[in-house]
Amino acid sequence: MQQSTLMPLARLPLRLRLMLHLLASLRLTLGLLLLLLAGTVLAYTVEAARVWGIVVPLVALAVNLMAAIAVNTRFRRQTALLAFHLSLLALIALVAIGRLTALGGHTELTVGGEFDGRLVETRAGPWHHGALADVRFTNMGFEIDYAPGLRRGQTRNRVQWTDRDGHRREAQIGDQTPLTLEGYRFYTSFNKGFAPLLAWRLDARPWVHGAVHLPAYPLHADAQMQDWVPPGAERPIHLRLVLEEAVIDATREDGFRLPESPRLVVRDGNQRHELRPGEVAVLASGQLRFDGLTSWMGYTVFYDWTLPWLGAAAVVAILSLGFHFWRKFAATAWDA
């Protein structure tokens, strides 16, 4: 930002001119930059300040920059310099708007399961009004490479969805390759694990089918258990997956896979059952059938429509500033 120089804004009232010069002050700029730094730290430590801790200093900086552009005659006389400062103003405004309208979060999907527009955890700006509720896609399965030492490598996840023309689409996504629907980007995450497929029947009612996601594997390899409240039941039952073999060999290159002989331990009060796929446990609260084992994948979800505009504004800022200095130094011989 350039040092503001007093100019006669004859057509403006004196009080307004003084206010503009005050708002364009470089000292104010320095103070607002320090406020932005403090707000950024606050935003990452206090949830309530996550948005406004950054947006308020950015809005103040935008006002400061607009005042500087208004009172500094050099900006209007030098087109490239004016373009640079307008681009800088656009960058500040877009970052602030992005904080207000962006969305971040994560979700989990069983293999074969369809995303229903709901996230497990959401961090949305107060002005976010997207179409996430209309987004649908299906997790068709995934592969993950592991290097020795359980170092996670590439994730390849097949997904299917129906486009706006009614055509069925399929793609392979990963940690760096997203599925983009309605502006939302879905990336695979390090979170994934096993999911027992269960059938539950209360009294003589029809069987209800579903899957229970166990804690992430191999991150929680020794804690493959979960409390689950069956539909219509009044208390949770405890599920624990017994792994009888090392699912991923940590001594060599391997891949994520399902255990060959899964065994599910079910506890309901004082009752304890061990189930193999296809077996049924008769519990005090109902009947539980272990239909088999599948897996689930965690997805990181991101939405920010301002990103391409931020890129464009940054390019204009770089080019205009470069052109300004090229003209400035080209006007004088280097050996003068």
| Residue located via tokens 């005042």 | 67
- In angstroms, the CA 273 to CA 239 distance is 10
Between the alpha carbon of residue 218 and those of residues 5, 157, 223, 296, the distances in Å are: 63, 18, 10, 13
Question: For residue 268, how many other CB atoms are within 10 A of its CB?
Answer: 20
Q: Are 241 and 262 in contact (CB under 8 A)?
A: yes
Give φ, ψ of 252 to 5 degrees: -150, 175
Best CA proximity match to 198, nearest among 239, 244, 140:
239
- In angstroms, the CA 209 to CA 329 distance is 74
Low-confidence stretches of the chain (pLDDT beneath 50): 1-6
- In angstroms, the CA 241 to CA 126 distance is 41
Q: Write out the two tokens for 25.
A: 């002050």
Instruction: Give tens-digit pLDDT for 245-298.
Output: 788 999 999 999 999 889 999 999 889 999 999 999 999 889 999 999 999 999
pTM tops 0.75: yes
Q: Which pLDDT score is estimated for 77?
A: 82
Q: Compute the C-alpha angle 271/275/277, nearest 5°.
A: 155
Q: Which pLDDT score is estimated for 224?
A: 95
